[in-house]
Amino acid sequence: MDKVKVGTIWLDACSGCHMSLLDMDEKLVAIADKIEMVYGPLVDSKNIPEGTDVFLVTGSVSTNEELEKALEIREKSRIVASLGDCAVTGNVPSMRNSAGAKEALQAAYARGEKPEEKMPGLPGNSTLPVLLKRVRPLHEVIEVDEFIQGCPPGADLINLMLGELLEGRTPRHGVRTHFG
Strands 4-10 and 52-58: parallel
- What are 140-169's pLDDT values in tens digits? 999 999 999 999 999 999 999 888 888 878
Q: Is the full-model pTM beyond 0.85?
A: yes
For residue 47, which phi and psi values (nearest 5 degrees)? -120, 140
CB atoms within 10 A of CB 118: 14
Q: How far is the C-alpha of 144 from the C-alpha of 154, rounded, in Å? A: 20
107, β-bridge pairs: none
Phi, psi values for residue 155, rounded to 5°: -60, -35
Distance separating alpha carbons of residues 145 and 54, to the nearest angstrom: 10
Report the C-alpha gap between 79 and 86 in whole angstroms: 19
Fold of 4-97+131-166: Rossmann fold (3.40.50)
More confident residue, 81 or 115: 81
With a cut of 50, say whether residue 179 has pLDDT above it: no
- Mean of the per-residue pLDDT values of the chain: 86
Return the percentage of the chain with pLDDT > 90, whole number.
62
Q: Are 52 and 6 in contact (CB under 8 A)?
A: yes
Q: Please give the Cα distance from 156 to 33 (Å, whole number).
A: 19
